[in-house]
Homo-oligomer: A and B are copies of this chain.
Amino acid sequence: MKSINQLTRSRALQAFVAPRLQTTQIPATNRLWKRCFSATPATASNQPGIDPLKLTITKTTTPKELIPAKDLVFGSTFTDHMLSIEWTAAGGWKSPQIVPYQNLSLDPSSCVFHYAFECFEGMKAYKDSKGQIRFFRPDKNMERLNKSSARIALPTFDGEALTKLIGEFVKLDSRFIPDARGYSLYLRPTMIGTQKTLGVGPPGSALLFVIASPVGPYYPTGFKAISLEATDYAVRAWPGGVGDKKLGANYAPCILPQLEAASRGFQQNLWLFGEEEYVTEVGTMNLFIALKNKETGQNELVTAPLDGTILEGVTRDSVLGLAKERLVPQGWTVSERKIRMADIVEASAEGRLLEVFGSGTAAIVSPVRSISYQGKMVDCGLKDNEEAGAIALQMKNWIEGIQYGDEEHPWSFTL
């Protein structure tokens, strides 16, 4: 019988893995804080890449009824169709297909069920005031999905080709995009390993699919500031781990701490890291802290640096970019630096904490009223009658303005 080892090391596997992955040369040192894995697209190899010209479309014969916009629940109803592209180690990417939304039929030994060979993206399509469909920074989603995929030995792909195909899919199902500000079509590109063996090794086959769900505004009646519980008993991510990749593996383990926080009345948990209790992420969002810097007295917008433990949020990057462009001229400092929970407590006590907010695709920004930490409530700077701080409000308006095409900006374009 062949052993797992023999299979892992077989020449066939190496042949298909080697050209797909370009791994940074790793010196044999003891530095854990490095980020080690980078990826090049599968198209760099000799295998067929994703080819939008080969797209086939099979339209549904039973179109769904549209759900009234006010009744939409995030990610619970889907459009008429889905985009689907198979990959095999031997044959590369097959022809893309748009087919009626349907169940996946998978062998129970498929590696996605056992070893979490899965990664995904969250992105949106918007209808602007002229009725045109828009994408917001899809290149960032494609770049991240390639990084996530390569990190778990799934195939990489040409991001522009996939964006084009998603565009075709969205145009076909465009009637599902609600025609109102704050509404959009949430898109979920997903890659799963489909190899039908239980040996732990790189998948020899995969499926890339995209489904779409019409969604409404995260805060339908205006912002509602949330309260967080600082989590110090469980750890989301660590140096040398995969917390910076959008892998399924990062999500299931987060539910229990979130339920713990919810059971005590908090909307989300706040992940702390290490003995220093660095503030990292909030639930499934990045975190921003606006404060008066203790040393300089200047206004500073702070978020955790991309040290391998933080998800590289597209909204995070957008907030940083806009802050550098539009807040710095107003005297703000913008920092990607480690910040301790103790620093936030101190800033709050000294009246230097201006506001705190999460950032993510679902809500854009999510203002924070308070953080429960070591049995005490840390006030995050909002007045009693305020549900959002000035920076969070400003960011939401700037980003939404770009997403819906009110402001022409390179981050947004029409299909």
Contacts and interface: CB of A to CB of B under 8 A. Distances in A.
Interface stretch (A46-54, A90-98, A126-134, A214-222): A214-222
A30 B275 contact: yes
Interface stretch (A163-171, A258-266, A388-396): A258-266
A266 to B, nearest CB: 9
A397 B109 CA distance: 31
B256 A247 contact: no
B152 A199 contact: no
Given A76-B197, A76-B199, A234-B241, 17 more contacts: A3-B218, A3-B363, A4-B74, A8-B262, A14-B262, A75-B197, A76-B196, A104-B107, A104-B113, A108-B190, A114-B251, A117-B252, A153-B259, A200-B251, A200-B283, A201-B255, A202-B259
Q: Determine how many copies of this chain the complex contains.
A: 2
Give the contact-size bracket for chain A. Answer: 35 or more
Contacts of A188: 109, 114, 198
A87 interface: no
Interface string A362-389: 1100000000011100000000000000
Nearest to A195: B76
Nearest to A17: B259
Contact of A241 (B9, B23, B211, B235): B235
A176 interface: no
A303 to B, nearest CB: 21
A240 to B, nearest CB: 3
Interface in A98-124: 101-109, 112-118, 120
